[in-house]
């Protein structure tokens, strides 16, 4: 039994939604990681001279 046109289109949009969600989640994760590294590097640059002085 062949799937109807509507069912096929439904499946395609479902796949597209899943891909969009995955892309959104991964981009969010990358952004979060970048910001974390950025803040961490700033923080360590601020604290590093104090550590060297001690």
Angstrom CA distances, 16 to 3, 11, 43, 44, stand at: 18, 9, 40, 42
Q: Which two tokens stand for residue 39?
A: 């803040």
pLDDT at 51: 64
Query: What pLDDT score does 2 carry?
Result: 66
For residues 2 and 11, the model is more confident at: 11
Q: What are the tokens at 35?
A: 């910001």
State the pTM of this model.
Answer: 0.51
How much is the average pLDDT of 21-28? 94
The span from the CA of 33 to the CA of 21, in Å, is: 18
């Amino acid at each position: 039994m062949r799937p109807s046109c509507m069912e096929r289109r439904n499946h395609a949009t479902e796949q597209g939604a899943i891909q969009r969600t995955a892309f959104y989640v991964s981009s969010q994760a990358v952004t979060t990681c970048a910001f974390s590294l950025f803040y961490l590097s700033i923080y360590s640059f601020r604290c590093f001279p104090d550590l060297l002085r001690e």
